[in-house]
C-alpha cells in the first residue's frame, strides 16, 4: 500500500493489559488464516484492523502480528472470502433483501459513455468513465480523495492501491490491472484522514467494503461513492514477470507495465528503460492474451466467485463490447455504466451536467445485452464448479443462491474450463503454454478463434 503509515497506536485501545499477547481464536480472524484458498486478497482485514496487526504479505495474503492482535473479530466480520450472502449484501446496499438472482444485479438504468477529457478518455481501459467520474467529484470537492490503483513506481511489475488527490494522480491510476491488488488495505489510511472519499473496486473488494459498512460504520462513512468494476476474474500477480520472461525480459528492464496500453481495446505491453515499448503479444488484449491468461493464472478464490458485475456498488462500469451485424464494435472506446443506487445516479447526472462525461441511455436497447460469455461463466459455470467442489469435500465459499438450471453441455463445459484452470497448479508447464500462446507460432489459433467468434456472433444476431 502506498503512503503506508505506522500502525494505529496501540495505546489508543485502552489499558496495555488488554493488548498483552493472547491466544487468538481462529473464529475471530479472516478466512485466510484458516484456509487461504477462500481468501480473495481484497485487503479488507488489513484495512479494518484497529491495531495494524494485519498487513498484506508479499504473496498478497494477509499476515498477522499476534502480539498486536486484540482479538476484536472485525477482520472476520468484514471478510467476504468464506461466505457471500446476497440477501445480506442487498440489505446493506439497497435497504431491502430482494436478491435479483441475475448476473447484472439491481440496475436502475444502463448507459454507454466516455469522458470528455481527451487525455482521460485515451488513457482509460474503456471510455475513462471511472476516472472521468472521480475527476469530477474531486474537482467539485464532493470528495477529497479517491481510492484507486497503479503499478508501483519503484516495482512496476506489482500493483498497489493508493489515495489519488489530484487529476495527475488519477491519470496514473487509469487502465485495468488484471492482477490481484488488495485495494481495501487502504482503509487503514482512511482511519486518520478527515473528509470524504470515493472508491473504485472489484466485486470481492466491494463485498468487503459493504460488510465494513455494518462492522465499522464510522470508517465506512468516509466513503461517499463506491464505483464497481465488472470482473471476469483477476490474475495471479506473477503473470507480469512470466510475460516478461517469455520475451527474455526481467523486472529490471522495465519502467512500467500496461495491461491495456495504446489504442483501444489496448495491448499488454512493457515500457522499457531504454524508452521503447515491447508488446507482450501480437494481438490486442480482447482478442489475444487475456483469453488464455484468465484460465491459466486465475487464483483459486476467483474460480468460485459468482459476482461478475459488481452487484453491490453505487454504479458499475464495464467494457462496452456490443458489436454490429458485421462484428464491428458499436461503441469503440466507450464504457458501459449500470446505475444501481440513488447516489450512483446523482454522481453520474452531476458529471454529465458538468460536461465531464457524455452518456447515451441504452436501458431499452435490446441489442445492448453484452457479456454473454461472462454471464454464462459466472452465472452457470462458476456455480456448477462450486457445487461440484463442495460435493467432493473441497472448501468453497457459502452462497445463499441455488445452483441455476443448466444443461449437460454446461456441466461438460465447466469440467473443461476447470481442467484448463488446473494447469495453474504446474507453473513450469503453464509458462511453456504461455510462451507458445504469446509467440507468433500461435497466430493461426487467434485467427481461427476470431473467425469462429464472428460466425457465432452473426448467428446470435439473426
Ligand X SMILES: Cc1cc2nc3c(=O)[nH]c(=O)nc-3n(C[C@H](O)[C@H](O)[C@H](O)COP(=O)(O)OP(=O)(O)OC[C@H]3O[C@@H](n4cnc5c(N)ncnc54)[C@H](O)[C@@H]3O)c2cc1C
**Site residues for ligand X per CB under 6 A:** 124-131, 148-149, 159, 173-179, 181, 183, 200-202, 229-232, 234, 317-319, 335, 374
Please state the closest distance from residue 337 (CB atom) to ligand X, in A.
Answer: 8
Nearer CB in complex with ligand X: 52/228: 228
Nearer CB in complex with ligand X: 64/260: 260
Please state the closest distance from residue 178 (CB atom) to ligand X, in A.
Answer: 5
Strand partners, 113: 335, 359
- Using alpha carbons, select from 34, 25, 148 the residue that is nearest to residue 81: 34
Cα dihedral 281, 285, 288, 292, rounded to 10, equals 100
Please state the closest distance from residue 17 (CB atom) to ligand X, in A.
Answer: 40
Strand partners, 197: 145, 223
Nearer CB in complex with ligand X: 1/148: 148
What angle do helix axes 408-422 and 382-391 make, rounded to 10 degrees? Answer: 80
- CA 229-435-446 angle, 5° bins: 65
Contact 220, 77 (CB under 8 A): no
Please state the closest distance from residue 149 (CB atom) to ligand X, in A.
Answer: 4
Strands 398-399 and 83-84: parallel
d(CA 246, CA 258): 16
Reduce the DSSP state of residue 402 to 3 states and report it. Answer: coil
d(CA 105, CA 316): 10
Nearer CB in complex with ligand X: 76/149: 149
Please state the closest distance from residue 14 (CB atom) to ligand X, in A.
Answer: 35
* Cell numbers that stand for 438 in this block: 504469446
Please state the closest distance from residue 95 (CB atom) to ligand X, in A.
Answer: 26
- Using alpha carbons, select from 185, 197, 86, 187 the residue that is nearest to residue 134: 197
Please state the closest distance from residue 201 (CB atom) to ligand X, in A.
Answer: 6
Nearer CB in complex with ligand X: 126/344: 126
Nearer CB in complex with ligand X: 78/131: 131
Nearer CB in complex with ligand X: 53/201: 201
- CA 153-157-161 angle, 5° bins: 55
Amino acid at each position: 500500500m502506498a503512503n503506508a503509515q505506522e500502525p494505529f497506536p496501540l495505546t489508543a485501545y485502552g489499558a496495555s493489559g488488554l493488548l498483552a499477547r493472547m491466544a487468538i481464536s481462529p473464529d475471530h480472524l479472516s478466512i485466510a488464516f484458516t484456509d487461504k484458498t477462500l481468501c480473495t486478497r481484497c485487503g479488507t482485514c488489513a484495512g479494518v484492523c484497529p491495531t495494524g496487526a494485519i498487513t498484506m504479505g508479499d504473496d498478497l495474503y494477509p499476515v498477522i502480528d499476534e502480539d498486536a492482535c486484540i482479538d476484536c473479530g472485525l477482520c472476520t466480520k468484514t471478510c467476504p472470502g468464506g461466505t457471500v450472502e446476497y440477501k445480506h449484501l442487498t440489505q446493506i446496499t439497497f435497504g431491502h433483501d430482494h436478491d435479483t438472482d441475475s448476473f447484472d444485479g439491481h440496475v436502475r438504468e444502463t448507459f454507454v459513455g466516455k469522458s470528455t477529457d481527451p487525455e482521460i478518455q485515451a488513457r482509460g481501459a474503456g471510455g475513462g468513465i471511472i476516472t472521468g467520474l472521480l475527476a469530477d467529484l474531486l474537482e467539485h470537492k464532493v470528495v477529497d480523495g479517491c481510492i484507486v490503483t497503479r503499478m508501483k513506481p519503484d516495482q512496476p511489475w506489482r500493483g498497489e492501491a493508493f489515495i489519488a488527490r489530484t487529476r495527475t494522480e488519477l491519470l496514473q491510476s487509469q487502465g485495468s490491472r488484471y492482477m490481484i491488488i488488495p485495494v481495501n488495505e487502504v482503509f487503514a489510511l482512511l482511519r486518520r484522514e478527515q473528509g470524504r472519499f470515493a472508491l473504485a473496486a472489484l466485486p470481492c473488494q466491494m463485498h468487503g467494503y459493504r460488510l465494513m459498512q455494518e462492522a465499522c460504520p464510522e470508517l465506512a462513512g468516509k466513503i461517499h461513492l463506491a464505483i464497481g468494476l465488472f470482473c471476469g476474474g483477476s490474475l495471479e500477480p506473477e503473470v507480469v514477470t512470466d510475460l516478461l520472461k517469455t520475451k527474455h525480459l526481467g523486472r529490471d528492464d522495465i519502467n512500467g507495465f500496461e495491461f491495456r496500453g495504446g489504442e483501444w481495446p489496448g495491448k499488454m505491453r512493457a515500457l522499457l528503460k531504454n524508452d521503447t515499448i515491447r508488446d507482450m503479444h501480437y494481438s490486442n488484449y480482447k482478442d489475444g492474451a487475456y483469453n488464455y491468461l484468465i484460465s491459466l493464472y486465475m487464483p483459486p478464490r476467483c474460480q468460485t466467485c459468482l459476482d461478475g458485475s459488481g452487484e453491490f456498488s453505487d454504479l458499475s462500469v464495464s467494457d462496452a463490447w456490443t458489436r454490429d451485424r458485421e462484428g464491428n464494435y458499436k461503441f469503440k472506446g466507450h464504457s458501459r455504466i449500470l446505475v444501481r443506487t440513488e447516489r450512483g445516479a446523482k454522481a453520474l447526472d452531476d458529471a454529465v451536467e458538468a460536461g465531464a462525461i457524455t452518456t447515451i441511455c441504452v436501458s431499452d436497447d435490446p441489442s445492448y445485452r453484452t457479456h454473454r460469455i461472462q454471464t454464462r461463466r459466472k452465472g452457470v459455470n462458476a456455480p456448477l464448479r462450486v457445487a461440484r467442489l463442495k460435493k467432493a469435500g473441497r472448501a468453497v465459499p457459502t452462497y445463499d443462491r441455488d445452483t441455476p438450471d443448466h444443461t449437460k453441455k454446461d456441466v461438460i463445459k465447466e469440467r473443461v474450463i476447470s481442467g484448463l484452470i488446473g494447469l495453474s497448479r504446474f507453473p513450469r508447464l503453464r509458462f511453456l503454454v504461455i510462451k507458445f500462446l504469446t509467440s507468433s507460432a500461435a497466430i493461426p489459433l487467434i485467427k481461427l478463434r476470431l473467425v469462429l467468434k464472428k460466425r457465432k456472433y452473426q448467428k446470435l444476431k439473426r
